[in-house]
Amino acid sequence: MSKALLRYIRLSPTKARLVAREVQGMNAELAIASLEFTPNKAAKVIAKVIASAVANGGFDAQNVVVKSCRVDAGPVLRRFMPRARGRATPIRKPTSHVFVEVAPKSLENSKKNRKDNQATKEATIEKVAKKSTKGEDK
């Protein structure tokens, strides 16, 4: 499992989370390809972070799954805009921290396979036990 973190990006966390939810659980290569054609700033940023996480682990993008993609709120830049009659109104410029974790497909599948293998082992043990008890009854 490898991680990548991009901090203090000038992007609204609310808007970035919409894109981050779409990517979770996807194949990394497919996620990067789909984000490349998504027309907003968050998609380009998240695609770069996913590519960085894949590179950090030394994996191939085809063999990796996006385990989690999280967008946290960073500090807010506060600016003021002059308005009529000598007044000023605040403008909030939010920042975000983007965190991506990727894991090889084999790890994801091995957990599922363990449960499946355990179930099949139990089923075969029960079949063998039934056959052996039928032979004893005669």
Assess contact for 99 and 53: CB atoms under 8 A: no
Interval 81-111: pLDDT, tens: 999 999 999 999 999 999 999 999 875 555 5
Residue 59 and residue 121: Cα distance in Å, rounded? 33
Interval 18-69: pLDDT, tens: 999 999 999 999 999 999 999 999 999 999 999 999 999 999 999 999 999 9
Tell me the three state secondary structure of residue 10.
coil
List the structure tokens of 118. 């355990």
Which pTM value belongs to this model?
0.75
